[in-house]
Structures are given as C-alpha cells and as structure tokens.
Chains A and B, each alone.
Chain A
Amino acid sequence: MNGLTFAVQLLNGVQYGLVLFLVASGLTLVFGILGVINLAHGAFYMLGAYLAYWIAAMTGSFWAALLGSVGISFVLGLALENVFIKRMYGRDHLAQVLLSFGMILVIDEVRQILFGKDVHSVAPPAWLSGSIKLTDVLSYPVYRLALCGFCLAMAIAIFYVIQRTRIGMVIRAGAENREMTRSLGIPFDTVNRFVFAGGIALAALGGAVVAPVSTVFPGMGDSMLILSFVVVVLGGIGSVSGAAIGALLIGLTDTFGKVFFPQISSILIYVLMAGILLWRPNGILGKREV
C-alpha cells in the first residue's frame, strides 16, 4: 500500500467516523439527558434516508431532500416524545427497550407501506457530483469530501451549542441533576422534548447525507444502530466528546480492518469494544462508578 492509497483509506475512515458521530451523538444525548434507551434510533436513520430519497425524487433538489427529511423527523420526534417517550422517564430500561422495539416494527412497516422495500439511491447536487483525479486509476468523489466537511461542521456546531450556549448549559445541568434543574424553574420537560426530537433529527440527517454515497435500503438502520451503540459504549454514555472519540476509532478500525484483515473485519470492532470494556467498563470518557 503506497502513501496515496493509505491517505484515501484514512480519509474514508475519518468520513465514516464523522457520519457515525452524527448519528451516535443523537443517541448519547438521549441516553445521557433523558435516561432513555432508544433502540429505534437506527430506524430513524433509515427513515431519514428514505425521506430524503422520496423528497429528492419529487422535487429533484438534494437540499430540499436534506431539509425536508430532517424537518419531518424533528416534528415526528416532538410528537413521539409527547405521546410515548415522556411516559418512559420513570420506567425501567426493559420497558424502554420494548417500547422502542415496538416503534421499530411500526416504523419499518410504515416505511414498507409508503416507500416499499426496494433499494434506492439519491443523486448528490450537480456541483458536488464530480470526482477529483488523483492518479490515472485513482480518483476521489467530491461529494465524499463535502460530506467530511459538512459532518465536521455539524460536529463543531454540536459542541458549540452544548458547551457555549445557554441552551447547552440547561442541557448539561439537566444531565447532571434533573431534579435540581427543574426546581430552579427551568422548563425541563420542554428541554427533554427538544433533546429527543433533536436526537432523532440528527439520526435522520445522518441517513440523508449518506444516501448519495451508500444505497438506501431497509436494513440500513439495524447495522447503524449496533454501530452507534458500540460508539456510545466506547465513549461513555452521555458524553458527546466520548462519542466523537468512539466514532473515529470505529470508523478507522472498520475501514482499515476491511483493507488489512478482510475475513475478520466485521468482528474487529467488537474485539475493540471488548478490549475497551476490560480496560474501562464505563467507556473511555464515562463517569467512574459511584
């Protein structure tokens, strides 16, 4: 492997990691702040991709597809929080697991009814659809580069909102101590609703932005769910920085695993997870046991 191929693979790994971070950050926020385990997170990733395909096919505009997919998912998230999730805050994790399993079945079947089960693809906007010629045989799609940049910008935006803004302060306070935040007069129930909807919207955004580089297919949510779980376990529940580290680790491990050890690449990330668990059972940046 020469330097250029290595650089391309490195870029692929980082790009994969950035998309993983986008999806997993939504999951870790919902875990950390609402204390709710949401197995349907992957289903919303899948739904985001299908919505993007649907809107792109109707309007012909990639940007309309992106915005529409995220917008619809956000509203859906608000509604679901209001009807189902808010009743889950006092319940055990088992009930949350079962509720989100039921939601997966419903979302999957609704997707089947609305969009069918065919595999689709979404065209990137025209000015991003070319590729950069690196050598005679090697070229790199512009969209993948743009995807890297976009996800990086989103990651910075997420960190900025959580670390530097007033909303972020409320979110951090709520994650630290729910009752205290509420007793200080902060409308935490509304915050909860928007955090859940925001998490769902991030999953849908992840699905929509990868639609042009990977295909849109029914099973895409399941594999993403497991990967985001591994990312959250690696990074520590509720830790957005941990999710960033975990996502990059998984992205690089998976990409280079496929290059160097193609036979066992799918097992490699779990071996990594097992290793981290032995070292730090609560994740790299997870709180130590109290």
Chain B
Amino acid sequence: MNSKLQNLIVPLALLFAAVALPLLVPTYYVQLASKMLLMGMLAMALNLVVGFGGLVSLCHAAFFGLAGYVLALTSPESQAASIWLSLPITMAVCGLAAAIIGALSLRTKGIYFIMVTLAFGEMLFYLFHDTKIGGGSDGMYIYFKPDVLLGSTQLIDLDKPRTFYFVALGCVLLTVWLLRTLVNAPFGHALAAARDNERRSVSLGFPVFMVRLVAFVISGVLAGVAGYFSAAQFGFVAPQLLGWHLSATVLVMVVLGGMRSVTGPLIGAMVIIGLEEVLKSSTEHWKLIYGLIVIFIVFALPGGVQQLSSLIFGRKVDAPTPGTEVWKGARSMQPEAANV
C-alpha cells in the first residue's frame, strides 16, 4: 500500500511541477522547457526501438527533420498551415519513410543495422542538402505557426510560448501513455523477447520481422510528431536537423536516461539539453567538454542516471544493466560468435 502510494506521489508531483512551471519562470525558460519536452519525446520514441527492441538506429533524426520539412512544404507562403491537414500528412510521410527504411534495414543485424540506418538517414540529409526541394543547404523558414481552428474559431494559439508549452506537454503525456501501453501489451513482450533471444522467438512462432517493423514505424511517426512541433516552435528547418549527429545525441539521451524505462529518455533529454545550455554559455569550446562527458557516461554510467541516483541514494536498481542483454543478443547474431 505504502509503495503504491509512493508510486503515485512522484509522478503526480512531477506533473504538478510541469504544469506550474510556465506560470513561474520567464518566457525564455518556458521555450527551453518546450524544447526539452519535444527532444524528450524524440528520445522516448527512439527508445522503443533501441531499449525495448534492442535495435540501435542512427536515423531517427532524419524522421524528426523530415517532419519539419513536410510542415515547411505544406505551409502556404503567407498564411498558417492548418494543423488538421499538415500534421496527418507529416505523420503519413514519416510513417512511410520509416516503413521503407525499416523494411530494408531490418534485413540486417547488429553492426550492419547501425551502419545501414546511418546511411539511409544521411540519404535523406543529402536529399534536402543537395537538391532544391527544401531550399538546399540554407533550409526553409516557416513564417506562421500552424493554425488550430474549429470552423473559424481558434482553439489553441501556438504563437503564445506558454500555450505551446502545454501542447508539447500534452504530446509528451500522450507519448508516455502510448509507449507504456505498447510495452506492456503482448506486442511489447514480443518485441523484448526478440531482443533477448531472437532465435528462440522465431522458433516460438513470433513474427519477429513484422513486430520490429511495426515498432520502427511507430517510433518513426512519434519522432515525426516531435519534429513537426519542434519545427513549428523555431520557425526554421535546415538539413542539419536530419543529420546523424542529432541521432547520436538523442542516443546519448536514451542511454543517459536509462533504456529500460519509458520515461527515462525524457529525463536524459532534459539533462543533456540543460547541459548544452550551461556549456554553451560558459565556454567557446563547449563541444570538447561535452564530448568528454559523453565518453565519461559510456564508461562510468552504462546504466544511465538511474544508476547515478542508485549510487547516491544507495538504492539497488532492479532492472538489469542495460546493454548486457543487448550485447548478448548482438553476439549471437554475429557470424563469428558460432565459433567462440
């Protein structure tokens, strides 16, 4: 009973803090918090594939950036796009891209999968960088944030930073709910089973390829929704948004937050973006320190911040150390492992 209450108190307190935050801090921090929420959504989306599927994808930034370009291209020159039209189109395009890339990439395993997703992500990057579809390397501006109209009345004004924050918060809560439901459903168990022992799952009759592909597409669509709102927030899209450096950064968020929890990557995103913000304002060569911190995380905190908190509070983490099982799975997929 006591622990059940505890389990409820923490999320409720966090939710209360999240709702109260924009009323207490200056606009700049509200915008920063919105950015954190949307990156957290991207990280949670990626984690469905990486943490629960055991598939290290390096192309999720491409879905994120692609969504921004779809919004930019569906926005009329001198007026706002309608969210009822542009958001579904964005989701459909990202879902289609994820389905094609996923269907091709999932034919491969282990290191191959990482390299192939990286290459396909870069393909989309070069598509927007080298051709004139989206303004080339200069990118495109989105002059008006999407309209949320019902008939002719405006339901939500995305131009107001605080309103936008609540929309982002809503997206994050929906994502958490959706991912929780998926992970605890038979689908999620099948996905995790394929991660832990692919051969056994196949021999038990699980449609491993389809399960993984569906997870990849859902993850790509969620990444697209995050990218849609992110592009709307900043009013600008550039090819760099699709680049694999962003994909790798989001992976850092996932690992830092913890791969075995749905909300962990959200915390990882907040820590990383907060860190970037502090480093950028304090030193010109912030990437040097940032890179060293990433290396430190790999060696010192393979379990992410949850491990950090367990070090501080002396609480044992009951989840297995993330990575060990992925490694085992990856080993059994490697050709030479048969001899070892």
Binding site for B on A (CB under 8 A): 31, 35, 37, 39, 84, 87, 90-95, 97-99, 101-106, 108-110, 112-113, 175-180, 222, 226, 229-230, 232-233, 237, 263-267, 270, 273-274, 277-278, 281-283, 287, 289-290
Contacts and interface: CB of A to CB of B under 8 A. Distances in A.
Interface string B55-91: 0101000000000000000000000000000000000
B108 interface: yes
8 contacts: A37-B111, A37-B114, A93-B56, A94-B251, A97-B251, A108-B287, A177-B340, A267-B123
Main SS of chain B's interface residues? helix
A116 B295 CA distance: 24
A263 B291 contact: no
Given A180-B339, A270-B123, A277 B291 contact: no
Given A233-B112, A270-B123, A105 B287 contact: yes
Given A94-B251, A110-B288, A84 B295 contact: yes
A37 to B, nearest CB: 5
Contact of B287 (A91, A109, A230, A287): A109
B234 interface: no
Interface residues on B, range: 35 or more
Given A93-B330, A97-B58, A103 B116 contact: no
A98 B336 contact: no
B130 interface: yes
**Nearest 4 pairs of A and B residues by beta carbon:** A105-B291, A102-B294, A92-B327, A109-B288
B330 A92 contact: yes
Interface stretch (B164-172, B185-193, B296-304): B296-304
B285 interface: yes
B248 A232 contact: no
A229 B118 contact: yes
Contacts of A180: 339
Given A101-B294, A102-B292, A233-B115, A94 B108 contact: no
Interface in B97-144: 104, 107-108, 110-112, 114-116, 118-120, 122-123, 126-127, 129-131
A135 B123 CA distance: 38
